[in-house]
């Protein structure tokens, strides 16, 4: 039998239901794994091992006592981790920033509350680029997370802590957030499955705001089936988030038969261009051929505005951020750098406690929204955003799904892009369009490069068609084994 820490979420849930393992055994297995590997990986910003074990024993007692197991919370006693930009009542929430050091939120994010209601045990909070601004987790004020496949490389970002924790099998699943690729790109770099829902599908209440028209809450798991298992618990209308849509959440039933006959898969030519690493391109093409071998019809499509994704996103997201981050003023939460006047407090607290990338984006957004530049930057970017939506609307009249690389390259060495912010932004080109259009995406491993680093492919679907992503991703994983590979880490 595989050691418990290698089990995926679906296996753990089933084994707990059948009484084959206890929550305490499962929780302890992951906590031991964390203890052994955390000094090398630094996936976490906060851990509560004692509280977690206490909850696990509580869950086991509850399960032992019940007459009717069907009345138990369905995920009772399952350990998970949460990215540190989502609030968990009573656990510090820093967003990877000094400006929120010591902040302990008095309420749960809706996604967190729903997981807790389903019985989940939260082991801790995972590392992130400061306020989710970054593609490598190097922008965390508390030090970078390392890629479990190669400790000299980044795990991707901004949900790098969650992705690395799942890849290193320190937790079976974690919440992440995706504003411009922050779930899918670290999933690709770490060889795990990253799911980003449709904008409006999952509540953002309790998610510390970055780019409000783009932010989504997603999952990092070992498998597509695990992502599909969690989805119904996270999705649905929330009276506390007016951007959630009151549309039914379909029950996800994954077929045992990997039959993709009748499925039309579009391959956008703009995602296979100069600058994409040949091994990434080859692995993604092979994965697309694999979908074809399962019966899918593959055709080339065009998403002509793709080359403009970086300027559009890096105007809109920083503009929204510059407004959202105005709330950090040293008055209501977080530390204060004292000054003579209130203005002094604002300038000093914000200037000294925000990190370099956050200040850069606040300045970029402030500039784009300032008098004289609004039309040339912000208004222009919003119009081109409309063209991104139209690109996808046109494509989805011809195909059911789009398949493409997640990122142009595999995980890069720590420090290799930190001096050149534009080079870092350009890494995001293939994940940004799904956020600009608000559509769902699913990233999963489809191979490894010659250095043994994972390569990811992403599927994109029309709004609210997450089930389609799960069905196709699951068909792929039930006929391949890339997702079962574990990084060679020796405790």
Region 290-309 residues binding another protein, contact defined as CB under 8 A? 305, 307-308
196 belongs to the catalytic site:
no
Cα distance between residue 196 and residue 216, in whole Å:
7
Cα distance between residue 365 and residue 297, in whole Å:
42
* Dihedral over Cα of 205, 210, 215, 219: its sign: negative
Query: Which residue is catalytic, options 83, 125, 196, 417?
Result: 83
Using CB under 8 A, which of 277, 285, 336, 485 touches another protein? 336
Cα distance between residue 40 and residue 44, in whole Å:
11
Task: Report 168-227 residues binding another protein (CB under 8 A).
Answer: 199-200, 213
Residue 333 interacting with another protein (CB under 8 A): yes
Nearer to another protein by C-beta: 393 or 398? 393
Task: Report 428-467 residues binding another protein (CB under 8 A).
Answer: 436-438, 463
Residue 274 interacting with another protein (CB under 8 A): no
Q: Which two tokens stand for residue 443?
A: 């990233």
Residue 310 interacting with another protein (CB under 8 A): yes
Interacting stretch for another protein, rule CB under 8 A, among 102-110, 125-133, 397-405, 442-450?
A: 102-110
Using CB under 8 A, which of 103, 272, 374, 448 touches another protein? 103
Query: Which residue is catalytic, options 97, 136, 162, 182?
Result: 182
Task: Report 363-422 residues binding another protein (CB under 8 A).
Answer: 363-364, 366-367, 370, 377, 379-387, 389, 421-422
Strand duo 193-196 + 217-221: pairing = antiparallel
Q: 3-state SS of the chain: helix, strand, coil percent to 5? A: 45, 15, 45
158 belongs to the catalytic site:
yes
Distances (CA, A) of 110 to 19, 114, 116, 237, 325: 29, 6, 10, 10, 21
Cα distance between residue 313 and residue 308, in whole Å:
9
Among 456, 392, 477, 8, which residue's Cα sits nearest to residue 198? 392
On whether the CB atoms of residues 411 and 164 are closer than 8 A, the answer is: no
Using CB under 8 A, which of 312, 395, 399, 401 touches another protein? 312
Nearer to another protein by C-beta: 119 or 180? 180
182 belongs to the catalytic site:
yes
Using CB under 8 A, which of 50, 68, 251, 340 touches another protein? 340
Interacting stretch for another protein, rule CB under 8 A, among 76-84, 146-154, 219-227, 312-320?
A: 312-320
Task: Report 105-124 residues binding another protein (CB under 8 A).
Answer: 105-107
Residue 238 has a CB neighbour count (10 Å cut-off) of 19
Query: Which residue is catalytic, options 158, 162, 319, 467?
Result: 158
Q: Give ∠ CA 201-205-209 in degrees, rounded to 5.
A: 100
Active site residues: 83, 158, 182
């Amino acid at each position: 039998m595989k050691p418990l820490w290698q089990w995926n979420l679906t296996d753990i849930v089933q084994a707990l239901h059948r009484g084959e393992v206890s929550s305490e055994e499962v929780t302890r297995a992951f906590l031991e794994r964390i203890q052994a590997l955390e000094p090398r990986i630094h996936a976490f910003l906060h851990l509560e091992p004692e509280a977690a074990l206490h909850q696990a024993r509580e869950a086991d007692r509850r399960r032992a006592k019940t007459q009717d197991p069907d009345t138990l919370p369905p995920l009772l006693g399952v350990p998970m981790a949460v990215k540190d930009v989502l609030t968990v009542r009573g656990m510090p929430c820093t967003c990877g920033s000094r400006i929120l050091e010591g902040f302990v939120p008095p309420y749960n994010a809706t996604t967190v509350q729903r997981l807790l209601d389903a019985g989940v045990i939260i082991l801790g909070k995972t590392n992130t680029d400061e306020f989710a601004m970054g593609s490598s987790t190097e922008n965390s004020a508390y030090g970078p997370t390392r890629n479990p496949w190669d400790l000299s490389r980044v795990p991707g970002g901004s949900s790098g802590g969650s992705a690395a924790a799942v890849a290193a099998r320190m937790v079976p699943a974690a919440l992440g957030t995706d504003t411009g690729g922050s779930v899918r790109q670290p999933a690709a770099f770490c060889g795990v499955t990253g799911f980003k829902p449709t904008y409006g599908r999952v509540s953002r209440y309790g998610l510390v705001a970055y780019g409000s028209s783009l932010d989504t809450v997603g999952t990092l798991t070992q498998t597509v089936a695990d992502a599909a298992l969690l989805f119904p618990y996270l999705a649905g209308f929330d009276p506390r988030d007016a951007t959630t849509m009151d549309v039914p959440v379909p029950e996800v039933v994954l077929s045992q038969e990997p039959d993709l006959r009748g499925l039309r898969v579009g391959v956008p030519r703009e995602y296979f261009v100069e600058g994409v690493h040949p091994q990434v391109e080859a692995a993604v093409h092979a994965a697309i051929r694999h979908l074809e071998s399962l019966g899918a019809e593959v055709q080339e499509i065009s998403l002509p505005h793709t080359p403009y994704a970086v300027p559009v996103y890096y105007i809109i997201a920083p503009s929204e951020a510059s407004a959202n981050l105005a709330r950090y003023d040293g008055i209501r939460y977080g530390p204060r750098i004292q000054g003579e006047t209130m203005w002094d407090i604002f300038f000093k607290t914000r200037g000294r406690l925000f990190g370099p990338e956050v200040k850069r984006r606040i300045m970029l957004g402030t500039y784009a929204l300032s008098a004289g530049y609004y039309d040339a930057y912000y208004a222009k970017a919003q119009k081109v955003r409309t063209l991104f939506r139209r690109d996808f609307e046109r494509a989805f009249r011809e195909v059911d799904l789009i398949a493409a690389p997640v990122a142009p390259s595999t995980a890069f060495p720590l420090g290799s892009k930190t001096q050149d912010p534009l080079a870092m932004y350009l890494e995001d080109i293939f994940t940004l369009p799904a956020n600009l259009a608000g559509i769902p995406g699913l990233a999963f491993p489809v191979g490894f490069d010659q250095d043994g680093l994972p390569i990811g492919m992403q599927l994109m679907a029309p709004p609210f068609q997450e089930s389609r992503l799960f069905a196709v991703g699951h068909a792929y994983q039930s006929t391949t084994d890339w997702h079962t590979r574990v990084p060679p880490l020796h405790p």
